[in-house]
Structure 1
Amino acid sequence: MMQIDQEKCIGCAKCITDCLVRDIVMEDGKARIKNESCFKCGHCIAICPADAVSSTEYEMDEVKEYKAEKFEVPAENLLNFIKFRRTIRQFKDQKVEKDKIKKIIEAGRFTPTGSNQQDVAFTVIENEIEQFRKLILENLNEKGKEILDNLSPKTQKFKKYAEMWIKMYQDFQNKNLENDLLFFNAPLIIVVSANSTVNGALASANMELMANALDLGALFSGFTIRGAKGKDNLRKFLKIKENKEIVTTLVLGYPDVNYLRTVPRKEADISWL
């Protein structure tokens, strides 16, 4: 429940003006939250100049007061940071510290979600990577054989992937992990699931940027998503809740490669109206 300390409230009405669902009213010069249509977005907490608003459902200790020197990032620096990040496929044999993992997840947790659903969940894999690899490669091998057995003009474009998946599974069986094209021998994997694909994808993008800020490298593993799709054994292994779908798989670790500059991209496809 959201609540307003009537002793602190100065009646400025800023929370009322900013409330999307109009769940706050003014009574006797003080704001009061009805808690009828509120979806706990927290804008009233953030905007109150008297720090009079709180929630009984969340930890208020994690609320931070705005300080420009700690919160603001120069726009040009941020843009360059985004341009410089690269997908990493070479990782050091080095564990990722727990505090860094927690910061990556925090970046996902505080990413906005539609209607403040906060529906994003995280499965952190460190000790069971080998079992995860086995399950994914078994499924990819199965999908690869199915594609090759049913080739048509429509599925011809998947032939090279099918052959690659079968080869990856064979390498795994032969313990040829030097050619690990799934996880590239990274020490950490975070699987992101959500009710909404958009919410999960937005959270994942912020998590990847946080990983880069922590001097880590990241790879979004599309093969893993393909190998997990529609497989109950993977959902059970990853502890995916019934109402959620796997959105991304972040492969993480310390990069064993150094890049020296950004790379060019196609011009933006823009329609000005």
Structure 2
Amino acid sequence: MKEQHIIEVNKDICIGCSLCKNDCPVNNIIIKDKKSVIKNQDCIKCGHCVTICPTKAITMTGFDEPPIEFTKQHTLDSNELLMAIKSRRTIRKFKNKEVTSEIIEQIIESGRFTPSAKNAQDVSYIVLGDDKSKYEEIAVKFFRRIKPIVSLWMKDAKEVTIDDNFFFKKAPIAIMVVTKDKISGSLAASNMSLMAESYGLGVLYSGFFTSVVNNLPKLRKHLNLKSKGHVVTTLVLGYPDVKYRRTAQKEIANVRYL
């Protein structure tokens, strides 16, 4: 985490119910004199104690916004969710239609609230909008140069045409997910793509652009990426200009029950 956060207990309203103590994943809370006591401030600051307290006696400093109160328990329809997953396709044809800033903010918000390893919250995002063609141009030139080499170990690459829109497919938006931890970044990207699709957007995971960014110093410099900034994936987003009518067939899952 970038900021320092202090966990505080308001003993005037703490009822000593032990909910926070029992739910703390690092055993950092004790009950003393029927009140919650934080052992030290070196925990992972996961916020479980804040979210579970029935009297709002536990708070955490250093955030720009208060916790959101739940008026109900939010659940997803399991059948609808499964069909949404089954019907997902990688989109490579996009309409010439703008994606609003409000939708982009919601997509990033779904990434922000995705759990991260040790609650590091070290995932960041680079939104490529109207000026993304200049970054794509650099990547295209590089990829054209290395295509003969790539074709030696990737047979499909021989048949690929690298045009000027090879990476972003004329989509209006691309979002780069940046973090040192690949798992945290991948989880965030997965939630972001689901959120994008809930708005009717199509998604392309541009692995090629991601690889170029991580290996081309010139492009990293243009994107102002620091040396430790690893791009986990690039989500290319826009309204799809293609309609799929049925699911793609998949092989049976390889599962072992022990």
Partner amino acid, structure 2, of 1:27: K
Rounded to whole Å, the distance in 1 between the matches of 2:146 and 2:153 is: 14
Q: What is the RMSD of the two structures over their aligned residues, measured on CA atoms?
A: 1.8
Give the structure 2 partner of residue 161 of structure 1.
Answer: 157
Gapped runs of 5+ residues in structure 1? 149-154, 173-179
Q: State how 1:117-266 maps to structure 2 within 5 Å.
A: 117-145=120-148, 147=149, 156-161=152-157, 164=160, 167-168=161-162, 171-172=163-164, 180-266=165-251
Aligned residue for 2:3?
Answer: none
Q: How many residues were matched structurally?
A: 253
CA shift, 1:204, in A, is 0.5
State the identity as a percent: 38
How far does the alpha carbon of each residue in 1:119-150 deviate from its partner, in whole angstroms, 9 at most, with x for none? 111000002111111111122122224x17xx
Structure 1 segments, 4+ long, off by >6 Å, are none
CA distance in 1, matches of 2:26, 2:135: 43
CA contact (8 A) 1:240 1:246 kept: no
Aligned twin of 2:36: 31
| Bigger share in helix | 1
Deviations 1:153-181 (A, max 9, x none): xx7332541663xx41xx43xxxxxxx33
Say whether 1:44 aligns with 2:49: yes
Secondary structure (helix, strand or coil) at the match of 2:215 reads coil
Q: Specify the code of the residue in structure 2 equivalent to 1:144.
A: K
Distance (Å, rounded) in 2 between the aligned partners of 1:54 and 1:236: 40
TM-score by length of 2: 0.91
C-alpha distance in structure 2 between counterparts of 1:204 and 1:246, whole Å? 11
CA distance in 2, matches of 1:199, 1:258: 31
Counterpart contact for 2:9–2:59, Cα < 8 Å: yes
Counterpart in the other structure of 1:90: 93
Structure-2 change in CA distance of 1:80 and 1:194 (3 Å): same
Aligned ranges 1:53-92 → 2 under 5 Å: 53-68=58-73, 71-92=74-95
- Tell me what 1:111 maps to: 114
Tell me how far 1:62 sits from its aligned partner. 4.3
